[in-house]
Chains A and B, each alone.
Chain A
């Protein structure tokens, strides 16, 4: 399956080179799913997915969570699946 090819690439260090300065000196975020290979992204696991939602129930951007693109993609699909069966909210608390 061609899908599996990307596994090794996982989180490649991106654009650390010249011409790209990281703002602030926070420590580099590492994709949680790449760091822990045993972690599965499953739409049924509300507890794990809930951590990637904002207070309003929006999906956190990878810029904040530090997820790699590959896992962020899977995560969003999983969250959206969970939403169709009302395991996770589309939106919480109106102003």
Chain B
């Protein structure tokens, strides 16, 4: 069977942590390779804010896999992703044969990070002060 170019974007539960996300990425990589797929590139976007809550989480690790595989292999990979609990969601798309690989800049690890932590810290501060008053 002819193999095709696919890409799969996977959302990993934030509780997995940086380390767990790495491990899971490797697991998916070997999964694709077991199915005789060839990996083009893997992009780790890191912890990103979600546009809305997914499984009560505000963030998730995003990992993008670009690879070639047969359609049968893709269904098998997708089936396994569905069985993997720490995978919140994923989307698989067939890429055009002549499409350039996803450039790194689409990743653009979004700004927050600092502002977010400062916000969190602010909240915590408020809570503490409240506690003291009481």
Q: Which residues of A contact B (CB under 8 A)?
A: 42-45, 47, 81, 83-91
Contact = CB atoms under 8 A, between A and B. Distances in A.
Interface residues of chain A: helix, strand, loop or mixed (majority): loop
B102 A83 contact: no
A83 B91 CA distance: 10
A84 B52 contact: no
A90 B50 CA distance: 12
Interface residues of chain B: helix, strand, loop or mixed (majority): strand
Contacts, number: 35
Contact of A85 (B90, B102, B108): B90
Given A47-B108, A81-B91, A86 B9 contact: no
A85 B106 contact: no
Interface of B: 9, 11, 50-52, 54, 60, 62, 64, 89-91, 93, 102, 106, 108
A87 B112 CA distance: 15
Given A43-B93, A44-B102, A45-B106, A85 B52 contact: no
5 contacts: A47-B108, A85-B91, A86-B50, A86-B52, A89-B52
A47 B54 CA distance: 21
